[in-house]
Amino acid sequence: MDSLNDKIELVEADLSAAKADLADAKRNNNDNLTIAYVNLVSSLVQQLAALQSRLPPAAVEINEPLTVLWKQLHEGPDTTSSTSILNCLPGSLLLSLTTPLFVRQSYVDISALILEHISTSTLATRFALSGSPGVGKSCFFFFLLFSISRRSTSSKFRVLYQLKSEFHLFSPDAPVLDINPENVSKLLQQSDIIYIVDGLDHNSPRVSWCHTIFISSARNEEYLSWCKQNRPRTYMFPVWSMSEVLVCRQYCYPDLDISVIEHRFRLLGGNARYIFGRDDYLFHLNAALQSANATLALKSAGSSRTDYPIAQMLFHAIVGDYDPKSSAPDDDDRSCWDHPISVCFRRFCITLCLRPTGGKAFFRNRGEPSGFDWRRWFKRHF
């Protein structure tokens, strides 16, 4: 360890000297020396980052865009302004690279629980974060990163983020590094690492001896298998409330008409992906309404996607004018009972089943499909 610290101190000294020489070259308007010292400083920064990460220099590469974001999260003020919106209170915005991120109350609550466990635990802790597709699970990573950088008891940790086949290392007071996948196993053995995995595209965590957080849809088979093997602490993200939708629209989507928001919320419920959805999302929804496989997809909702790769799970159903607060609804007007995930009416029904990838959906609209018994289907599945 002393040898590693000596190397770090030596590279830091060289880096300070190179920065001073670079400043002199700029003052003297010496373009050739400026370019040379810029390259030298860049090389020394990468060497220093590699030493601090305890990896060989060839295994890492500085990610400049993420380094800018990391610096904003780590050093920016807790203020709300047009250029830096970093207030971590519920209902505020968090600056991302190109678009603002709405901070949900569930983000604040879940991040506080996770960091409390990590800060007080002497052993590696496992966390599983799930929820319906489209409620903002992946975006939670940015707020969690922000919380880790600001919390004194967790700022000593480094964050290793896995998205698809890419690995990014966020370290205190250091640039963000892209890590060669072949060298990741060395980091996963270090106790000061918080390993965060986004379950997009069948991602699953590698074997690790550090704190691990797996974010995924509940019907992801990799997620289910990992939960069985690791018995993690599990937290679920709720669907969006109408008040959250309206506040998010005010700051993030001011050009989207409120009547459109209300109409989509009435049809789709608290699914932010489709309420604020891009045109391609809405195209998939409209195409799904005409899908010849809609009935077959509904029949297979909740089943393993290995057996039936189209439908992943029943996501949402909306039911006419039924008031869920009513104590004695008319049984003839309903085709099923209240359920935490869905309610379905005989008269008018929209049921959404998500595909395992791509966020596409299958709908059945305007009454019961021919030959399909809703009452029997719900009794079998719920």
Residue 30 CA from chain centroid, whole number: 46
Q: Return the structure tokens found at 302.
A: 């909740």
* pLDDT for res 291: 56
Contact by Cβ (8 Å): 197, 203: yes
Task: Return d(Cα 241, Cα 302) in angstroms, integer.
Answer: 24
> How many C-alpha atoms does 289 have within 13 Å on its Cβ side?
11
Least Cα distance to 341 among 264, 260, 271 occurs for 271
List per-residue pLDDT tens for the chain, 382 residues long. Answer: 557 667 777 877 887 888 888 888 888 888 888 888 788 877 777 777 777 777 777 788 888 888 888 877 776 555 333 333 344 445 555 554 455 778 888 998 999 999 999 988 888 999 999 988 788 898 899 889 888 888 766 668 899 999 888 999 998 878 889 999 998 998 999 889 999 999 877 788 999 999 999 999 887 888 989 999 999 999 999 989 898 899 888 878 888 899 988 888 887 788 888 888 766 556 655 555 555 555 665 555 555 555 555 444 444 433 333 344 444 344 333 333 333 333 333 223 333 333 333 333 333 333 434 454 545 554 554 4
Q: Return the structure tokens found at 78.
A: 């807790």
- Specify the CATH class of 56-237 in words: alpha beta
Residue with tokens 């008409």: 257
**Strand stretches in the chain, DSSP E:** 60-62, 93-95, 100-102, 126-131, 158-163, 166-170, 177-179, 193-198, 211-215, 233-237, 314-319, 349-354, 361-364
Task: Return d(Cα 334, Cα 340) in angstroms, integer.
Answer: 16
pTM of the model: 0.68
H/E segment holding residue 140: helix 140-150
Contact by Cβ (8 Å): 332, 295: no
**Strand stretches in 171-224, DSSP E:** 177-179, 193-198, 211-215
User: What 3-state DSSP class applies to 80?
Assistant: strand
Residue with tokens 């964050």: 159
* pLDDT for res 304: 56
Residue with tokens 């439908």: 311
Contact by Cβ (8 Å): 291, 327: no
Task: Return d(Cα 163, Cα 160) in angstroms, integer.
Answer: 10
Task: Return d(Cα 335, Cα 119) in angstroms, integer.
Answer: 48
* pLDDT for res 13: 83
User: What 3-state DSSP class applies to 354?
Assistant: strand
